[in-house]
Amino acid sequence: MKDEVKNIKTLEELQNLYTSVFGKNGTMTAKLKTMATLSNEERAVVNAENTELRQLFKEKQTELETATLNAKLATEYIDVSLDCEPENRGTIHPLTQAMKEISAILESFGYSLWTGPEIEDDWHNFTALNTPEYHPARDMQDSFFLENGNVLRTQTSSIQIRAMEKNGVPIKMFGIGSTYRKEMDATHAPMFHQIEGLYIDKNVTLSDLIGTLRALLSKFFERDIEIRIRPSYFPFTEPSVEFDMKWENGKWLEMGGAGMVHPNVLKNCNIDPNEYQGFAFGFGWDRMAMLKYGLNDLRKFYDGDIRWLKNSGF
C-alpha cells in the first residue's frame, strides 16, 4: 500500500486510492470497525498503520499540489524583462498648436475668445458685414450655400457681429474657427482656419491696428517682425488694408486683411459710429502654422497621416 501511494502521479488517482482506503467501504475503515474484537497489541498495530497511511497520503497530496502549481507557474509566468512594442503616442496637431499659441498671445493682449456657428445665416456672414445681397463681394468669396439660404461661414468676421450684438461696446475680442470656400491647391483648402480680432472703443486708431499686428506676429514667430500695409477693399472696413510681413528671405508675405470697422457695420450692431470706432483684422492661421513649423503643403494638414505628423516634428 505504501508503495502504491508513493507511485501515484495525479491528485485524482490519489483521491480514488484514498477513498478505497478511508472511504465508507475502504479497507482501513473496515479494519477500524473490527477494533473492538482485537487484542491490545493488534489495535496498536492497526492504529500505527492508520496514522502512517494518513500521513503518507497527506505528504503525497502536498507533493502533487506543489508540482501542479510549479507547472502552472512555469507556463503562465510573465517575463517582465521582455521588450514590448514601442508605445504609439498621440501628438498635438500643428494647427491646434498654432491656434493655441495665437490665442494665448491675443489673450495676453486683453482680447477675449469668442466662437460662433460654422453654418451661418446670411445676416452674420454677409448682410451685417455691409455686404448686401447684390454686393459683388458675395461672389468674390465663392461660398458654399445651403438650400435654406444659410452658408458655411466664409470668414470668422461673422463672429465679430455676434460678439458686438451680444456684448455691445467697448469690446476687445477675437474669434477663431473653421471657414469654408471653394478652393483647393497646395496653399488653399476648402476648409481652412481664420482668426479674427476686433477692438472697438472711443479712441482706437489705425496705428493701434498696425502696432497690434506687428506685436502679434513678432510674438508668434519669436523675433522682431517687420510689417507693411497696403490699401485693399473689404465691404466691412473703411479704410481697408492688407498686411504683409517680411520673411527670413527678405520677401514680403501676404498675411491677412484688416481695417477700421465700417460705420454701417457698427450701426447694424446698434453701435453709434459717431461715438465709437475701432479696427478688425483677420487671417488664416493654417498659413501661420506652415511658416512657423516649415511645412509646405497645406493639404497634408488634413490627411491625418501620423507619419507625416511625426516627421514634421510633432
257 is an interface residue for ligand PHE by CB under 6 A: yes
| Smallest distance, ligand PHE to C-beta of residue 243, A | 10
Neighbours of 287 (CB within 10 A): 19
120 is an interface residue for ligand PHE by CB under 6 A: no
DSSP output for 40-65? HHHHHHHHHHHHHHHHHHHHHHHHHH
280 is an interface residue for ligand PHE by CB under 6 A: yes
User: 3-class SS at 244?
Assistant: strand
143 is an interface residue for ligand PHE by CB under 6 A: no
174 is an interface residue for ligand PHE by CB under 6 A: no
Backbone angles phi, psi at 76, to 5 degrees: -105, 5
| Smallest distance, ligand PHE to C-beta of residue 154, A | 7
C-alpha torsion sign, points 23, 27, 32, 34:
positive
116 is an interface residue for ligand PHE by CB under 6 A: no
Q: Which of 234, 276, 285, 301 binds ligand PHE (CB under 6 A)?
A: 234
Segment interacting with ligand PHE, rule: CB under 6 A, options 13-21, 67-75, 210-218, 278-286: 278-286
* Identity at 229, one-letter amino acid code: I
Q: What's the Cα-to-Cα distance from 77 to each of 69, 70, 86, rounded to whole Å?
A: 12, 10, 22
Q: Which of 281, 285, 288, 290 binds ligand PHE (CB under 6 A)?
A: 281
Residue with nearest beta carbon to ligand PHE: 282
Q: Which of 17, 200, 216, 258 binds ligand PHE (CB under 6 A)?
A: 258
Q: 48-79 burial, b if ≥16 CB within 10 A, otherwise e?
A: eebeebeeebeebbeebeeeeeeeeeeeeeee
> Closest CB to ligand PHE among 57 and 160?
160
Rounded to the nearest angstrom, the gap between the alpha carbon of residue 140 and the centroid of all alpha carbons in its chain is: 35
282 is an interface residue for ligand PHE by CB under 6 A: yes
Rounded to the nearest angstrom, the gap between the alpha carbon of residue 79 and the centroid of all alpha carbons in its chain is: 33
> Closest CB to ligand PHE among 260 and 295?
260
Q: Count the site residues for ligand PHE by CB under 6 A.
A: 12
- Give the containing element (helix H, strand E) for 253: strand 252-261
295 is an interface residue for ligand PHE by CB under 6 A: no
> Closest CB to ligand PHE among 109 and 314?
109
| Smallest distance, ligand PHE to C-beta of residue 258, A | 5
| Smallest distance, ligand PHE to C-beta of residue 92, A | 26
271 is an interface residue for ligand PHE by CB under 6 A: no
- The secondary structure of 159-173, three-state, reads HHHHHHHHHCCCEEE
Rounded to the nearest angstrom, the gap between the alpha carbon of residue 45 and the centroid of all alpha carbons in its chain is: 81
| Smallest distance, ligand PHE to C-beta of residue 252, A | 18
Q: Where are the beta strands (DSSP E) in 75-132?
A: 112-114, 119-120
Segment interacting with ligand PHE, rule: CB under 6 A, options 3-11, 16-24, 86-94, 255-263: 255-263
Please give the Cα distance from 262 to 132 (Å, whole number): 14
Q: Using CB under 6 A, list all residues that contact ligand PHE.
A: 155, 157, 196, 234, 237, 256-259, 280-282
